[in-house]
Amino acid sequence: MKGFVGDIEDLTEENNAFRRVLYTTRRMQLVLMALQPGEEIGAEVHQDRDQFFRVEKGTGEIWIDGVASDIKSDMAMIVPAGARHNVKNTGKKPLKLYTLYAPPEHMDGTVHATKADAEASKEHFNGKTTE
């Protein structure tokens, strides 16, 4: 097993897809995201997984169980399983961030160029990992 080693800041800032699954293990998944100005992930709850976010570029807000917090470059957030949450870009440029799901949420290698693509997709993690 090789694992993942890479410049996560550069990879995140270079990503222009709404969602890009970068690496998947049986227990965790690394996903890059780019939210356009005014765009949001959409309110969601993961009953069985914790989620970590880190902003590399841009400004926005995160909502966790009804509490809003401003977010910006170099900030990290953790959403525990069962918490209703959403991330929104409140800036004038794309919000570039990455997230770690534990356990994985999406099929390995998934790329959703836009939020509309993500909403139209019915994919979910199928047990297949990067390696």
Give pLDDT tens digits for 75-127.
Answer: 999 999 999 999 999 999 999 999 999 999 999 999 999 999 999 999 999 99
Q: What is the pLDDT of residues 27-38, one digit of tens each?
A: 999 999 999 999
Q: What's residue 118's pLDDT?
A: 94
Predicted structure pTM score: 0.95
Q: Which of 56-60, 70-74, 93-97, 120-124 has the lowest mean pLDDT?
A: 120-124
Give the separation between CA 69 and CA 63, rounded to whole angstroms: 6
Per the domain annotation, does 14 fall within a domain? Answer: yes
- Residue 1 pLDDT > 90: no
Which pLDDT score, from 0 to 100, does residue 24 have? 97
Range of the domain at 77: 8-113
Looking at residue 25, its pLDDT comes to 96
pLDDT classification of 64: cutoffs 50, 70, 90: very high
The answer to whether position 1 is within a domain reads: no
Peptide bond into 80 cis (omega under 30): no
Within a domain: 125: no
pLDDT score, position 39: 98
Strands of 15-84, DSSP E: 19-24, 29-35, 50-57, 59-64, 67-72, 76-79
Q: Is residue 76 part of a domain?
A: yes
Asked if residue 90 is part of any domain, the answer here is: yes
Give the residues across from 30 on adjacent strands: 23, 100
Residue 105 lies in a domain: yes
Within a domain: residue 47?
yes
Which of helix, strand or coil describes residue 10?
helix
Please check the confidence at residue 129 and state whether its pLDDT lies above 80.
Answer: yes
CATH code for the domain of 76: 2.60.120.10
Number of domains making up the chain: 1
Q: Look at residue 119 and tell me if it is in a domain.
A: no
Residue 61: which pLDDT band, with cuts at 50, 70 and 90? very high
